[in-house]
Amino acid sequence: MELDTIELPKKNKLLEAYQHDQQFLYRFFDYEVTSVGYKERAEELATRSFQRDELASVIEQYMQPFGISKLAEQHIKELSSNALVVIGGQQAGVLTGPLYSVHKAISVILLAREQREALGKPVIPVFWIAGEDHDINEINHTYTARQGKAVKQQFKQPTVLKKMASHTVYDSKEMRTFIKRIFKSYGETAYTQDLLENVLKTVEEQQTYTGFFTSLMNQLFTKHGLLLLDAAYKPLRQLESVYFSKMIENASAMASSIYSTEQHLHSIGYNKPIESNEEDANLFYVHETGRVLLKRKNNEFVNEQTGLTFSEEEMYKIAEEQPWLLSNNVATRPLMQDLVFPVLAFVGGPGEIAYWSLLRESFHILGIRMPVIVPRLSISLITRQTQEALKLTGVTISQVFNHELPQLQERWVHEQRDEQFERLLNESRQQLKMQYEKMQAHLLETDPGLVPMLNKNLQFHISQFDYLQRKNEQSLLLKNHVQYERYQLLSEQLFPEGSLQERLYSPYYFINQYGEGFIEQLLKQPYRFDGAHQLVYL
């Protein structure tokens, strides 16, 4: 493997401001992403108290069924003592979800290593699984590559209620069939049989989307001591009881600060990340019909669709006695992470950092400060086949990432045209039209009733010319199909459906080609957390 970097076109205005505008950073965040920022954050955390023993026990209890490596055991012990945490997370997608789930885990692991050495104290990697999320259609699919396109493959087990991913049980038989179909599309390699058998075994051992996700992620990163924890795990909810009470107590103040910050952000030219409202409670309630969002109305917490109404006292009672019935949204999840864990740094994608930009005052309302916010590593994997296609088409990697590939392919197709045949075809088409115009003029005087039939006959002949033209184009592409398929490969591999590769394909697409050591090799690359897009040549 070899590593290179490239600057992507500037698309996310907020992320650009975060990375390059000091005034913006200090208006919406607490710490800069520098050695000074990490040091100051570590000093702040030293003044705070955490339920370390209880948290370590919860993580150990959660991970036990999936297997705990010696390094993970060490990290759990360090967490119970004085360790700091680098944390990131993702929804529980099928086959780990898209590649960026793995890129987040790699980012968390490498940044924790880096800061352990820099600060001279234990810093451990934690992956927070958003198993509380209930939109199953966001996680029940993956993409495969076919004929120059990325094709969405969805596991179509119907779900009626808005059940959390951690509570949604899949049909094992149907999931096995689905996984086999995905692997068949990957193609047979020396690694396929063992890899597929292991994934199918995991399907049988687990029951829920979150369990399936956790098991696969733990297998991929077990040697690196990555600690995994499901946000919907009941013992964690019990530990969070006191923090839910804090959020209930400060719900009005936090909603007001989030709303005013978002309005200010919008007034200076940025999008609204969450479209907040001053009546938001920023909490969900796990109802018998599923996970429902609460609002504040007349000093009560309500969900009008289900008819739920709780007084503030009732909410405190739920937080104390049944905290597993409460759940965070995008605004309170970062706050809960920071109350539970001694978070040195949070690693997130552009969308997550946009959410975080609204939360500085909410952190302060709870008497804490934001951690260092670090953009995750953004990575594209360049296979040998893709490298060869770049070389033989003359297309550069910069052109691909500057969205120039469609135009370059169109130009190449245009260059393959048989111009003489097209000229002769157009001449014939024009001559035919002229003759029919003469016939039409004659019929208008002698037999107007035949004009519609004449026009229909003309359209038939025109369609035959169009058919000839299409067939000629197809024949030319067939003669040049090898080069054409190279262009298609570049689109399919590097910018499928107009998105970065990491947003669609599963890591198992690549593990199937390069073996289970593939993740180990990715972790050995000398990445830099400088905002550049990382290119890994395989």
Q: What is the pLDDT of residues 66-111, one digit of tens each?
A: 999 999 999 999 999 999 999 999 999 999 999 999 999 999 999 9
Q: Cα(90)–Cα(410) distance, rounded to whole angstroms?
A: 38
Mean pLDDT of the chain: 93
Residue environment code for 400-419, b if the CB has 16+ CB neighbours within 10 A, otherwise e: bbeeebeebbeebbeeeeee
**DSSP string over 282-343:** EEEEEETTEEEEEEEETTEEEETTTTEEEEHHHHHHHHHH-GGGEEE-TTTHHHHHHHHS-E
Q: How far is it between the farthest Cα atoms of the chain?
A: 103
Report yes or no: 368 and 338 within 8 Å, Cβ to Cβ.
Answer: yes
Residues 431 and 528 in one domain: no
Q: Cα(160)–Cα(6) distance, rounded to whole angstroms?
A: 44
The confidence score (pLDDT) of residue 418 equals 65
Whether 357 is in a domain gets the answer: no
Task: Count other C-beta atoms under 10 Å from residue 209's C-beta.
Answer: 28
Which residue is associated with the tokens 């952000």? 265
Q: What angle (nearest 5°) sits at the alpha carbon of residue 93, between those of residues 219 and 103?
A: 65
Q: Cα(506)–Cα(362) distance, rounded to whole angstroms?
A: 35
Give Cα separations from 139 to 132, 160, 212 (angstroms).
12, 15, 12
Residues 532 and 431 in one domain: no
The confidence score (pLDDT) of residue 344 equals 98
Which strands, in side-by-side order, build the sheet including 326-328?
A: 308-311, 300-303, 290-297, 280-287, 326-328
Among 437, 463, 479, give the residue marking a domain's end. 479
Which residue is associated with the tokens 């691909």? 400
Report yes or no: 228 and 63 within 8 Å, Cβ to Cβ.
Answer: yes
Residues 509 and 412 in one domain: yes
At 375 the three-state DSSP class reads strand
Whether 386 is in a domain gets the answer: yes
Among 479, 502, 522, give the residue marking a domain's end. 479
Residues 470 and 507 in one domain: no
Residues 464 and 516 in one domain: no
Task: Count other C-beta atoms under 10 Å from residue 112's C-beta.
Answer: 28
Residues 490 and 449 in one domain: no
Task: Count other C-beta atoms under 10 Å from residue 20's C-beta.
Answer: 11
Residues 494 and 518 in one domain: yes
Amino acid in the structure at residue 238: Q
Among 479, 506, 522, give the residue marking a domain's end. 479
Residues 522 and 486 in one domain: yes
Whether 12 is in a domain gets the answer: no
Nearest to 93 by CA among 225, 216, 234: 216
Rg, the chain, Cα only: 29
Residues 432 and 524 in one domain: no
The confidence score (pLDDT) of residue 416 equals 74
Range of the domain at 447: 427-479
Residues 398 and 440 in one domain: no
At 378 the three-state DSSP class reads strand
Cβ within 8 Å of residue 34, ≥6 positions away: none
Give Cα separations from 246 to 55, 252, 319, 335 (angstroms).
18, 11, 10, 11
Give Cα separations from 46 to 38, 43, 121, 369 (angstroms).
12, 5, 12, 13
Task: Count other C-beta atoms under 10 Å from residue 369's C-beta.
Answer: 17
The model's pTM: 0.89
Q: Cα(499)–Cα(138) distance, rounded to whole angstroms?
A: 16
Whether 431 is in a domain gets the answer: yes
The confidence score (pLDDT) of residue 10 equals 78
Which residue is associated with the tokens 């157009």? 426
Nearest to 453 by CA among 465, 443, 463: 443
Residues 473 and 511 in one domain: no
Q: What angle (nearest 5°) sits at the alpha carbon of residue 139, between those of residues 346 and 277?
A: 60
Which residue is associated with the tokens 């001559």? 431
Whether 455 is in a domain gets the answer: yes
Backbone φ and ψ for 332, nearest 5 degrees, come out as -95, -15
Task: Count other C-beta atoms under 10 Å from residue 171's C-beta.
Answer: 12
Whether 190 is in a domain gets the answer: no
Which residue is associated with the tokens 């990491």? 502
Whether 112 is in a domain gets the answer: no
At 103 the three-state DSSP class reads helix
Domain count, the chain: 2
The confidence score (pLDDT) of residue 148 equals 81
Q: Which residues of the chain have pLDDT under 70?
A: 159-161, 418, 476
Q: Cα(302)–Cα(310) distance, rounded to whole angstroms?
A: 6
In sequence order, the β-bridge partners of residue 87 are: 126, 346
Whether 448 is in a domain gets the answer: yes
Which residue is associated with the tokens 């995994």? 228
3-state helix, strand, coil in the chain (%, to 5): 60, 15, 25
Residues 468 and 435 in one domain: yes
| Beta pairing class for 300-303 and 290-297 | antiparallel
